[in-house]
Structure 1
Amino acid sequence: MVTKETDNFNIEQICISGQCFRMEPIDGSTYSVVAGGRYVEITQEGKSCTFRCAEEEYESFWRHYFDLDEDYGAYIKNIDVKDDYLRSAALLGSGIRILRQDLWEMTASFLISQQNNITRIRRCISNICETYGEKRESASGRVYYTFPEPEALAELEEDALKECNLGYRSKYVVRTARSIAYGDVNLDHIRSLSYPEAKAELLKLYGVGDKVADCICLFGLHHLDAFPVDTHISQALKAHYRRGFPKRRYKGYRGVMQQYIFYYELNGKR
């Protein structure tokens, strides 16, 4: 086990922030996470987080995955003192970090996310993993499933994933899996591109529109200037930024601000 004290890190906030779909609560303070073929359980009490994994695995994977070397406090300090809305949003969601997630998994996940809610997205992805992923067992004996590789989905009929509750989104995921598996799309190449270049390439994929491309760029490529605009963000911008969101001010970490706004819109009015 590895125990660390970290500022601006809240596993519960990250879990419900809408950027990841394979993280879930086990009890009040412990969460499980499946990523990169790995499984970890994290217990948080205040700033103290215990990762139930070996020190080597924490250093080589989870530390990077949770973006723990980045100073998110500096992002919050740079928010315009006159922007009461954004300051309130950042205060509420101050424990959110932008995870460094797998590009293929994020591409498939956000294709599934279209016209869908977070609970259903989680269920769809769980179904896909249990049906087409690899069954594994954690050191603690808990069974989990990896996210299937593109090759595992590429030979399916376009409607096959309807059995996993994807509905019309099945063809989006299957066709994209084929494009990657057959070499028409090179994910390593996309990883090497700048944000505008990567977004342009992602927009060529079947079923990928502007919002989904930005989500993939932010959560699958860690391009922090990506600023996905969905219904919640659009409503917030209309209500609080009639002249447009001041993206120039937050160049280099606009996506972090987007997450604060998204989280606030979903959770700040309960």
Structure 2
Amino acid sequence: MEYIVENNNILFNDYLDFDIEHILECGQCFRFYKKSDKDYLLIAYDKILRVTQGDNKIIFHNTNTNDFDTIWTNYFDLGRDYGDIKKVLSDIDEHLHKAVSEKGGIRILQQDTWETLISFIISQNKNITHIKILIEELSKKYGTYIGEEDNVKYYSFPTIEQLSAASEQDLRDLKVGFRAPYIVDACRKVFNNEVDLVGLTSMEIEEAKNELMKIKGVGPKVADCVLLFGAKRYEVFPTDVWVKRIMEHYYFNKDTKIKAIHEFAVEHYGTLAGFAQQFLFYYARDFKIGKK
């Protein structure tokens, strides 16, 4: 993978299978800020990164080769051939072919497992705008200052130790609502090694789901999101109400059980189920397919 270093920026010319808008807006992450078209600021791994894309160029601003090679290459999953993945998925059926054709710039980010867990606990019954606000407030209150961009101060996502200092009432004061005891329980169980986040990558998939569901408020959908976006378990197929409607629109009658959808995903998409879910979800969301 070749890139150009230019004035503290990392520059790619004609990098395939990468669209910063598709990657950040497809619902897999929450700490990003759109500056303008194809111009985003994002926070990950205690770093601030600005990415702009246009004129067949992608620019990663104000970063160095060490951070790019050790953090951002992994974060954006740049070592994986998404061209091969998209070809396999496109050949499965016409629905995936359309989704991949329209939203082919998606890459599944390799996010921090702890941040992903808390973020998707917060995400329950919230729209993305409000989720982003809550996560930002949580970071300001309990995270560490990491820098300033355009006169805005940014903070790292709080560590397990930092967030464990928050009481249930503290969290309710930040407007997380019914999720407050879930966050407290997650902090306690992860801190005390009652839940093994590190082991999620190597456990049998059902064992990994059950491990996460030891935490109050973590059901199958949140567990699947944590596994897919925070533990590199690409065989899962996170299914919420909207994904259920999308699958019913494309493949089933109404009122299909989520278990049946998961069984179909395993058989139909195999080990690429997580990638299929992202392409279908983002495509259907933009075109309002399955939305009542």
Check whether TM > 0.5: yes
Q: 1:141 to 1:123 in 2, by over 3 A?
A: closer
Identity %: 34
Deviations 1:18-69 (A, max 9, x none): 1000012122232111111111111111542111111111111101100011
Give the equivalent residue in structure 2 for 1:33. 42
CA spacing shift, 1:151–1:15, aligned 2, 3 Å: same
Please point out which of 48, 52, 58 is paired with 1:49.
58
Which residue among 161, 175, 181 is the counterpart of 1:165?
Answer: 175
Deviation at 1:182? 2.7
**1:180-259 correspondence to structure 2 within 5 Å:** 180-242=190-252, 244=261, 245-259=264-278
Compute the RMSD of aligned alpha carbons: 2.0
Q: Determine whether 1:20 maps to 2:29.
A: yes
1:2 to 10, 17, 25: 10
Query: Structure 1 82/55 Cα, relative in aligned 2: closer, same or farther at 3 Å?
Result: closer
- Between the aligned partners of 1:48 and 1:205, the Cα distance in structure 2 is 43
More RCO (CA 8 Å, sep 6+):
1
CA distance in 1, matches of 2:154, 2:28: 20
Could you say what secondary structure the match of 1:252 adopts? helix
1:81-108 Cα distance to aligned partner (Å, 9 max, x none):
4722221111121111110000000000
Deviates more, 1:71-80 or 1:216-225: 71-80
Amino acid at match of 1:86: L
Q: 1:47 to 1:196 in 2, by over 3 A?
A: farther
Moved more, 118-127 or 187-196: 187-196
Change (3 A) 1:82 1:140: closer
Q: CA separation in 1, counterparts of 2:138 and 2:59?
A: 29
> Take 1:139 and 1:2, find their aligned partners in 2: how far apart are those partners?
18
Query: What runs of 5+ residues in structure 1 fail to find an aligned partner?
Result: none
TM-score by length of 2: 0.86
d(CA) in 2 for partners of 1:189, 1:249: 27
SS in 1 for 2:270: coil
Aligned-partner Cα distance in 2 for 1:200–1:255: 18
SS of residue in 1 equivalent to 2:177:
coil
Deviation per residue, 1:105-149 (Å, 9 max, x gap): 000001011111111111110110111111121699863100001
Structure 2 residue 194 is matched with structure 1 residue 175: no
Residue in structure 2 matched with residue 67 of structure 1 by the alignment: 77
Q: 175-184 or 220-229: which moved more?
A: 175-184
Q: Secondary structure at the match of 1:144?
A: strand
**Contact 1:151–1:178, Cα closer than 8 Å, also in 2:** no
Which of 121, 124, 142 lines up with 1:132 in the alignment? 142
- How far apart in 2 are the matches of 1:21 and 1:80? 28
Unpaired runs of at least 5, structure 2 = 1-8, 253-259
SS in 2 for 1:44: strand
Q: CA deviation at 1:176?
A: 0.6
Q: 1:191 deviation in Å?
A: 3.9
SS at match of 2:266: coil
Describe the SS at the equivalent of 1:247. helix
- How many residue pairs get aligned? The number is 270
With structure 1 as the length reference, what TM-score do the two structures score? 0.93
**Bigger shift: residues 149-158 or 184-193:** 184-193
- 2:130 is the alignment partner of 1:111: no
Q: Offset at 1:151?
A: 1.4
In 1, distance between residues paired with 2:46 and 2:219?
Answer: 28
Distance 1:49 1:246, change over 3 A: same
Cα offset, 1:249, TM superposition? 4.0
Q: Which amino acid aligns with 1:26?
A: K
